[in-house]
Amino acid sequence: MPDECIFCKIAKGDIPAEKVLENEDVLVFKDIHPAAPTHLIVIPKKHYATLNDIPQGELAVLAKVFGAVQEITKKLGIAESGYRTLVNTNRYAGQIVFHLHFHILGGRPLGTMG
Ligand code: 5GP
Ligand code: ZN
């Protein structure tokens, strides 16, 4: 885990974030610059820089991430109206924070993907 990783620091509680769900493996918190009425960030607590960096033997972490997505979207009442889950990987996708994370966007119609 790189010392300078901001999402590792959030997972450890070293810097604050508005946490909305937490379990042993996964943390969900509000994005600091929301692009929708509901904009959450879902992270595995274990550091992987990108989606490319999960070893084959650790892909079960994705089930834990999506379990948290199901749980929090239901809890916040956006599961039925709908939401978008996306992950940016590396330069062309505009990844800024190199700790694997999934965005949840909801609370308004989101349009089609460009
Ligand atoms: P990406 O790497 O997928 O392009 O986006 C990273 C996301 O993390 C951005 O939407 C950005 O607003 C959010 N973000 C970056 N730094 C922080 C932070 O310190 N706290 C929170 N809550 N969100 C952050
Ligand atoms: Zn990290």
Q: What is the CATH architecture assignment of 6-106? A: 2-Layer Sandwich (3.30)
The reported pTM is: 0.97
42 with 65: CB under 8 angstroms? yes
Distance from Cα 41 to the centre of ligand 2, integer Å: 13
Strands, E assignment, the chain: 19-22, 26-30, 38-44, 83-86, 102-106
Residue type, 28: V
Tens digit of pLDDT at every position of the chain (114 positions)? 677 999 999 999 999 999 999 999 999 999 999 999 999 999 999 999 999 999 999 999 999 999 999 999 999 999 999 999 999 999 999 999 999 999 999 999 999 876
Establish whether residue 5 lines the binding site of ligand 1, counting it when its CB lies within 6 angstroms of any ligand atom: no
Establish whether residue 40 lines the binding site of ligand 1, counting it when its CB lies within 6 angstroms of any ligand atom: no
- Domains in the chain: boundaries: 6-106
Distance CA 62, CA 25 (A): 10
Distance CA 91, CA 25 (A): 27
- With the most atoms of ligand 1 within 8 angstroms of its CB, the residue from 9, 30, 32, 86 to mutate is 32
